[in-house]
Amino acid sequence: MEPDMHTLKEVNENQCQICMPLGAVIALKGIEGSMAVVHGSQGCSTYMRLSMVEHFNEPVDIASSSLNEKQTIYGGEENLRKGLDNVIRIYHPEVIGVVTTCMTETMGEDISRIIDTYLTDRKFSDVDIIPISTPSYSGTHTEGFWTALRDIIRFYAKPAAPYEKINIILPQVSPADTREMKRILESMGVPYILLPDTSLTLDRPFGKTYEKIPPGGTKREDISRMSGARATIQFGYNCPDALSPGAYLEEEFGVPLYNLPLPIGLQNMDLFIETLNSITHKPVPDAIMLERGWLCDAMADSHKYMAEVKPVIYGEPERVYSIGSLCIENGSFPVVIATGTGSPTFSKNITSLYPEGDFPVKLCEQTDFAVIENESFRMGANLAIGHSGGKILTERHDIPVVRVGYPIHDRVGGQRILTIGYSGTLSLLERITNAYLEQKYRTYRKQITSEYYEQRGIIHAET
In DSSP notation, 180-207 reads HHHHHHHHTT--EEEES--TTTTSPPP-
Whether residue 296 is found in the same domain as residue 416 = yes
- Integer Cα distance of 133 and 135 in angstroms: 6
CA atoms within 13 A on the CB side of 281: 1
Please answer whether residues 39 and 76 qualify as being in contact, where contact means their C-beta atoms are separated by less than 8 angstroms. Answer: yes
Contact of 281 with 353, CB cutoff 8 Å: no
Q: What is the pLDDT of residues 36-94, one digit of tens each?
A: 999 999 999 999 999 999 999 999 999 999 998 888 877 899 999 999 999 999 999 99
By C-alpha distance, which of 115, 29, 33, 125 is closest to 80?
115
Number of domains the chain is built from: 3
Q: Does residue 127 sit in the same domain as residue 219?
A: no
CA angle, corner 238, sides to 23 and 252, nearest 5?
Answer: 80
Note whether 232 and 258 are within 8 A (CB).
yes
- 293 with 442, same domain: the answer is yes
Residue 35: which CATH number? Answer: 3.40.50.1980
Q: Tell me how crowded residue 275 is: count the other CB atoms within 10 A of its CB.
A: 16
Q: Is residue 202 part of a domain?
A: yes
Half-sphere CA count of 152, side-chain side, radius 13 A: 36
The DSSP element (H or E) to which 37 belongs, if any, is: strand 34-39
Indicate whether 184 and 294 sit together in one domain. no
Q: Which of 153, 135, 148, 178 is nearest to 23 (CA)?
A: 148
What one-character DSSP code corresponds to residue 259? E
On whether residue 47 sits in a domain, the answer given is yes
Local confidence pLDDT in tens for the 463 residues of the chain: 545 555 556 667 788 899 999 999 999 999 999 999 999 999 999 999 999 999 999 999 999 999 988 888 778 999 999 999 999 999 999 999 999 999 999 999 999 999 999 999 988 778 999 999 999 888 999 999 999 999 999 999 999 889 899 999 999 999 999 999 999 999 999 999 999 999 999 999 998 888 999 999 999 999 999 999 999 999 999 999 999 999 999 999 999 999 999 999 999 999 999 999 999 999 999 999 999 999 999 999 999 999 999 999 999 999 999 999 999 999 999 999 999 998 889 999 999 999 887 788 999 999 999 999 999 999 999 999 999 999 999 999 999 999 999 999 999 999 999 999 999 999 999 999 999 999 999 877 666 666 656 666 666 555 4
The answer to whether 368 and 16 have CB atoms below 8 angstroms apart is yes
Can you give the C-alpha Rg of the chain in angstroms?
Answer: 23
338 with 398, same domain?
Answer: yes
Residues 229 and 294 both lie in one domain: no
**Residue 409 sits in the same domain as residue 355:** yes
Cα torsion for 48, 50, 53, 55, to the nearest 10°? -80
267 within some domain: no
Residue 159 lies in a domain: no
User: Using CA atoms in the order 154, 259, 243, 328, what is the torsion angle rounded to 10 degrees?
Assistant: -150
Whether residue 279 is contained in a domain is answered as no
- DSSP state letters, 100-151: E-HHHHHHT--HHHHHHHHHHHH--SS-EEEEE---GGG-BHHHHHHHHHHH
In a domain, 460, yes or no: no
Residue 71, number of CB atoms within 10 A of its CB = 22
Distance CA 92, CA 252 (A): 32
Stated pTM of the model: 0.93
Helix then strand count (H, E) for the chain reads: 17, 14
The CA distance from 253 to 403, in Å, is: 39
Are residues 269 and 289 in contact, defined by beta-carbon separation less than 8 angstroms?
A: no
Question: Among candidates 67, 146, 78, which has minimal Cα distance to 104?
Answer: 67
Instruction: Assess if residue 271 is contained within a domain.
Output: no
Residues facing 403 on adjacent strands: 386
In degrees, to the nearest 5, what angle opens at C-alpha 353 toward C-alphas 293 and 330?
35
3-state helix, strand, coil in the chain (%, to 5): 50, 15, 40
| Structural domain boundaries enclosing 40 | 20-139
Give yes or no: residues 328 and 402 share one domain: yes
